[in-house]
């Protein structure tokens, strides 16, 4: 069976942000050695994956290249291989609409062609205008409404209308905290599909807090549609929180079910590299610590900090998450977690 599906590998981007997150919260000092990043990029390219996300873009006073986080699109684009497969698309992700648009050049062949932009919920209009401006500069824009489940129907219509107006490359729904169920996948797809221009791809970014990423992605892939679909994955599932759909898990399925021809060996080489570098059972993957916030539709960092900084038991964490105010669930802050722990004790 042939179907219009693209696979986006986000190992360096989501994995790098996961490493930075662990570093900032004093959980780990792990990072990508400088010689490893080009090696991973070349191996992903060798696999034939359709879209390769090279990292994130965020202006900072600190040098974060060891987390595949770059100061500018020019700096990120320098990591592209010298020899590129013309059928592959290279991309980077803007962590919000913060880099001044005047500092972002018009697209040219020396730069990644794809840009993903995380929509900031508190600045939705600014984020959408930012996406539209990048589209006018010639980039293929992927719109990422992080934690899509928090959006009202009216807000999603606004996002969809904006995607149509700017002729976005793709519009995603994003399971940021890993609690979406199969019925949520179908509902969001139907909502998007009935309103989105036919040439705009629908993408799905899954997280694995409840071990549902693979199941949810299979449900997404098997929806009866002629629309082009994009799914995201990372080698070993490396990523923020419990991590993402594993590239090594989905490639055999895509090759068998949808007649794709992705090469498996390069991905397994990446898995070997990552297993040697990082204790991924600790940094990402299923754990009770990552499960509990997903049960309550809550940001995973709450439980992570309660467990590793405050040494709370699972029972204590569960009690706090069960009873915390709903308006705190979607956005983690250190002040919020301190207040919750203090109130509990």
Phi-psi region of 33 (alpha: psi -120 to 50; beta: other; left: phi over 0): beta
Distances (CA, A) of 224 to 3, 55, 186, 228, 229: 10, 32, 11, 11, 11
Q: What is the dihedral of CA 302, 304, 307, 309, to 10 degrees?
A: -90
What pLDDT is attached to residue 81?
93
What pLDDT is attached to residue 284?
84
What pLDDT is attached to residue 25?
85
Closest CA to 55 of 24, 77, 25, 81: 77
Return d(Cα 253, Cα 92) in angstroms, integer: 26
The pLDDT averaged over each successive group of 10 residues in the chain (345 residues) is: 86 95 88 96 97 95 95 97 89 94 97 97 96 98 97 98 99 95 96 98 95 96 96 94 92 95 95 85 80 91 91 92 93 93 84
Domain range annotation of the chain: 5-282, 287-344
Q: Which two tokens stand for residue 59?
A: 């202006």
What pLDDT is attached to residue 2?
55
Global confidence as pTM: 0.90
Secondary structure string (H, E, C) spanning the chain: CCCCEEEEECHHHHHHHHHHHHHHCCCCCCCCCCCHHHHHHHHHHHHCCCEEEEEEECCCCCCCHHHCEECCHHHHHCCCCCCCCCCCEEEEEECCCCCCHHHCCCCCCCCCCEEEEECCHHHHHHHHHHHHHHHHCCCEEEEECCCHHHCCHHHHHHHHHHHHHHCCCEEEEECCCCCCCHHHHHHHHHHHHCCCCCCCEEEEECECCCCCHHHHHHHHHCCCCCCCEEEEEEHHHCCCCCCECEHHHHHHHHHHHCCCCCCCHHHHHHHHHHHHHCCHHHHCCCCHHHHHHHHCCCCHHHHHHHHHCCCCCHHHHHHHHHHCCHHHCCCCCHHHHHHHHHHHC
What pLDDT is attached to residue 281?
58
What pLDDT is attached to residue 85?
84
Q: Which fold has domain 5-282?
A: TIM Barrel (3.20.20)
What pLDDT is attached to residue 275?
87
| Site of tokens 């080489």 | 269
In this structure, what are the phi and psi dihedrals at residue 66, rounded to the nearest 5 degrees?
-65, -15
Strands 170-174 and 140-144: parallel
């Amino acid at each position: 069976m042939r179907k219009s599906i693209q696979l986006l590998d986000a190992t360096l981007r989501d994995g790098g942000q996961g490493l930075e997150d662990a570093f900032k919260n004093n959980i780990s000092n792990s990072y990508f050695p400088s010689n490893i990043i080009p090696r991973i990029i070349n191996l992903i390219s060798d696999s034939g994956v359709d879209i390769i996300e090279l990292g994130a873009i965020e202006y900072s006073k600190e040098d974060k290249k060891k987390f595949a986080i770059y100061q500018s699109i020019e700096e990120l684009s320098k990591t592209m291989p010298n020899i590129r497969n013309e059928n592959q698309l290279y991309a980077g992700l803007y962590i919000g609409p913060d880099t001044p648009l005047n500092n972002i050049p018009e697209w040219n062949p020396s730069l990644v062609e794809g840009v993903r932009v995380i929509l900031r919920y508190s600045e939705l209009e600014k984020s959408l205008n930012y996406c539209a401006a990048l589209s006018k500069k010639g980039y293929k824009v992927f719109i990422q409404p992080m934690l899509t489940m928090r959006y009202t129907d009216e807000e999603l219509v606004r996002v969809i209308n904006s995607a149509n107006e700017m002729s976005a490359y793709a519009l995603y729904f994003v399971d940021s905290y890993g609690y979406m169920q199969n019925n949520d996948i179908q509902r969001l797809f139907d909502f998007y599909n009935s309103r989105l221009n036919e040439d705009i791809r629908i993408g799905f970014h899954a997280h694995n807090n409840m071990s549902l990423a693979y199941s949810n992605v299979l449900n997404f892939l098997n929806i009866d549609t002629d629309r082009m679909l994009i799914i995201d994955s990372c080698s070993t599932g490396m990523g923020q929180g419990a991590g993402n759909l594993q590239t090594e898990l989905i490639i055999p399925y895509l090759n068998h079910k949808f007649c794709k021809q992705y090469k498996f060996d390069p991905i397994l080489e990446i898995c070997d590299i990552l297993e040697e570098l990082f204790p991924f059972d600790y940094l990402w993957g299923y754990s009770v610590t990552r499960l509990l916030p997903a049960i309550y539709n809550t940001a995973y960092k709450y439980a992570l900090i309660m467990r590793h900084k405050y040494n709370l038991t699972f029972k204590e964490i569960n009690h706090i998450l069960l009873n915390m105010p709903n308006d705190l669930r979607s956005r983690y802050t250190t002040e919020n977690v301190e207040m919750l722990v203090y109130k509990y004790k």
